[in-house]
Structure 1
Amino acid sequence: MSANSRLTVAAHALTWIGLYQRRGHEVATSEQIAASVNTNPVVIRRLLAELRKAGLAESQRGAGAGWMLARDLAAITLLDVYRAIEPGPVFALHRAAPNPECVVGHGIGPAMTAVYEQVEAALSRELARTTLEDVLRDVLKAA
């Protein structure tokens, strides 16, 4: 199973837009953002459409079309971004109900649900502690 990079790509795109706007530009094109991420602009447009639905990005059509932040980087947490692009839980139970006559099949759901709820709570706490302003600060330190 491969790791999911959507949160990283979404944080990258929004942080890039924020820096681009701070440097005096009004909107960023999906082509410009895609060049930084090193992906196809279609991937960026699809991801930014999800972020727009969540109120994190805005788009402008027509002449001067492009993307901008809907809120300041300091007002967007990684949890906001995560919830915008990953609406479901991190882990799921069986797709088909296990055998209820089996002792493990009967008890695995409640046992794993308790663990998964703790994992989700810890993940949410950690992602809520970091804003995209924090990400940009760390990016600029590394540059």
Structure 2
Amino acid sequence: MRSDSRLSRMLHALIHMDRHDGAMTSEHLAQMLSTNPVVVRRTMAGLRDQGIVRSEKGHGGGWALNRSLGDVTLLDIYRALGDPRLFAIGLADDDPRCLVEQAVNAAVADTLSAAEALVIARFGEVTLADIAEDFDRRFAAVMGG
């Protein structure tokens, strides 16, 4: 099963947008993310609907941040992407009357629910500013500063 990398890719794009002077076109973002501009526009529309980015028309237009990095959490981006599934693991549904399957599904569902709650809580604690600061530290280390 292929993993859903939209969250990571949008976080990547948003940090670049913060560091870019002016708006970034869908084409520029698509090239950076190795995807199609249509995919970028569709994804950014969800972020725009949540007030995270705005679209600017005309010459020099494109996508720009609408909020500061410190005001946006991973949870905000996750929600703007439509709450994608966190885990590929699922429950069996071969024979819902089977008591073993019921017991297994109950244990797995309970565990996944607890794990999801932890991930969602952590997403709410991490801001884009936290990620940008980590990038700055890594960049300084690579550049010898």
SS at match of 1:135: helix
1:55 to 48, 51, 59: 51
**1:40 maps to which residue?**
36
Q: Cα deviations across residues 34-57 of structure 1 (Å, max 9, x unaligned)?
A: 233233322222211121122211
**1:2 maps to which residue?**
2
Equivalents in 2 of 1:16, 1:127: separation in Å? 20
Matches within 5 A, 1:12-91: 12-20=12-20, 25-91=21-87
Provide TM-score, normalisation by structure 1: 0.81
Asked if the contact 2:48/2:54 (under 8 Å) is kept, the reply is yes
Aligned length: 138
- How far off is 1:32 after superposition? 2.2
Q: Are residues 1:132 and 2:128 paired?
A: yes
- How far off is 1:115 after superposition? 1.1
Equivalents in 1 of 2:96, 2:32: separation in Å? 51
- Structure 1 segments of 4 or more deviating over 3 A? 91-95
- How far off is 1:85 after superposition? 1.1
Equivalents in 1 of 2:69, 2:115: separation in Å? 26
**Unmatched 5+ residue regions in structure 2?**
140-145
Provide TM-score, normalisation by structure 2: 0.80
Equivalents in 1 of 2:118, 2:97: separation in Å? 33
Equivalents in 1 of 2:84, 2:36: separation in Å? 25
**Unmatched 5+ residue regions in structure 1?**
none
Asked if the contact 2:96/2:102 (under 8 Å) is kept, the reply is yes
